[in-house]
Structure 1
Amino acid sequence: MLIKAKSIRNYKIMANDGEIGKVDEFFFDDQYWTVRYLVVDTGKWLSHYQVLISPYAVLSVNEDAELININLSKQQVQESPGWDSDMPVSRQYETNYFKYYGYPVYWAGSMMWGPYPFISRNRNDWNATVENEHHWNPHLYSTKDVTGHSIQATDGEIGHVTDFIIDDSTWAIRYLVVDTMNWWPGKKVLVSIQWIDRVSWNELKVYV
């Protein structure tokens, strides 16, 4: 199912034993444009401390009830590696995070989710060795930060990013939602991730 990132912001995150908070934003990598973490504001439960939830933990997205079910307990989340929301997510933090939960690291392998093009729910697959797999260095960006980036076509700017269309089966971002502003007033268009030539994070521009 394709869903808009903005539409599931503020969805409740339901652990096995109760609510842990609400979705605030998403972190994705710049190689596969895939959501690697849901950033969750824990509200009163942990004094609005933010925690990261991997798509590996997601069981389902319920649009009618506006909630996301995860296969973790509140204790597991509370005792997960601490994260400083004012700092970038480091490789060391990610390594500790994946080790804590027992998930296979997504940066060991040549496909979207390491050795697989999808999220494997088979824990036996998680134990497969990845020592000899190709490792790549992920750079994570937040949907909040990229919202507003300009879209630069070969013959000029066409607008700016307002939202992201996510495939909730793989958590890959499939499209950018672009407000065409003065070029085509009152219109929004979809730009496929496959059309992206490069991104200039310094210029805040996406080239297609």
Structure 2
Amino acid sequence: MIAFSSLKHFGIHARDGDIGQCKDVFFDDQDYVTRYFVADTHKWLPLGRKVVLSPISLLEVNTTEEKLHVNMTKQALKDSPSIDEHKPLSREYEEILFKYFGYGYYWIGPGAWGDFSHPTELAHQQNMQEDIEEIERPGANHLRSCDEIDGYTVSTNDEDSGHICDFIIDKHNWQVTLFIVDSRDWLPGGKKVALSTAMIKDIDWSAHKVNITLSHEVLKALPEVDDERLDDSDYLTSLVNQAQISG
């Protein structure tokens, strides 16, 4: 497990050197799965720009060195399709990106990673899916930015009761497992608590609000999150277990 607040400071290391820093994470708001890391490359590459990397490319997550190691060269990343920072990622862009890297499409198949349980299994699967692509054209994606949702209001069945301040992500399958809510500025004796994604009713993007299935009183009764331990993987795993029981 890893907190988004920690992950967004990780460096990104290609096979031949450092290439940037993770600045954001895009997840699917239906499956709650991390789809892309947004890399800021301006310190490492000439005319550096923001690019996106799929978990499919990951070789290692080194929490000691705070680095994401990816299976590509700096040149391959430099030549990858550029993105418009001011527009959402489209499915058309995803198709171009996946064809460039030779990845199989995660949106073809029954699971969060298509026919596979782990994202890296989609590496080098492009040719196997070309025939399927002609039959099953992809629909719209549901990508959302963690950085954008950080700060969204959390609304219980009764009233607004806090705001999103972090996310907990499973490093194995890149599932977004928890939303961390800070209620200290909203409730007397407020605290930080962890919500499983099963507790989320919907996300209102126009109102910048996350609506949850819990009541105000149930939210207040959830165990408090220890801020000082959000870089402790074992502690984060225990938070996930607690939240699943509460849900």
Structure 2 length normalisation: TM-score?
A: 0.78
Larger relative strand fraction: 1
Larger relative helix fraction: 2
Residues 57 and 136 of structure 1, relative CA distance in 2, 3 Å threshold: same
What's the counterpart of residue 160 of structure 1? 163
Please list every run of 5 or more consecutive structure 2 residues that lacks an aligned counterpart in the other structure.
213-247
Please list every run of 5 or more consecutive structure 1 residues that lacks an aligned counterpart in the other structure.
none
Query: Counterpart amino acid of 2:209?
Result: K
What's the counterpart of residue 79 of structure 1? 79
What's the counterpart of residue 196 of structure 2? 192
Determine helix, strand or coil for the equivalent of 2:121. coil
What's the counterpart of residue 114 of structure 1? 114
Equivalent pairs counted in the alignment come to 207
The answer to whether structure 1 residue 145 and structure 2 residue 144 are counterparts is: no
CA distance in 2, matches of 1:17, 1:171: 25
86-95 vs 107-116, which deviates more?
107-116
CA distance in 2, matches of 1:159, 1:35: 24
CA distance in 1, matches of 2:57, 2:98: 11
Confirm or deny: 8 A CA contact 1:107 1:137 kept in the other structure. no
Identity %: 36
Structure 1 residue 82, shift from structure 2 partner:
1.4
What's the counterpart of residue 105 of structure 1? 105
Query: Counterpart amino acid of 1:206?
Result: V
CA distance in 2, matches of 1:134, 1:53: 22
> 1:47-86 maps to which residues of 2 (within 5 A)?
47-86=47-86
Q: Decide which of 206, 212, 215 is 1:202's aligned counterpart.
A: 206
CA radius of gyration, larger in: 2
Query: Counterpart amino acid of 2:49?
Result: Y
99-108 vs 124-133, which deviates more?
124-133
58-67 vs 129-138, which deviates more?
129-138
Confirm or deny: 8 A CA contact 1:109 1:135 kept in the other structure. no
Residues 104 and 176 of structure 1, relative CA distance in 2, 3 Å threshold: same
Query: Counterpart amino acid of 1:34?
Result: V
Determine helix, strand or coil for the equivalent of 2:87. coil
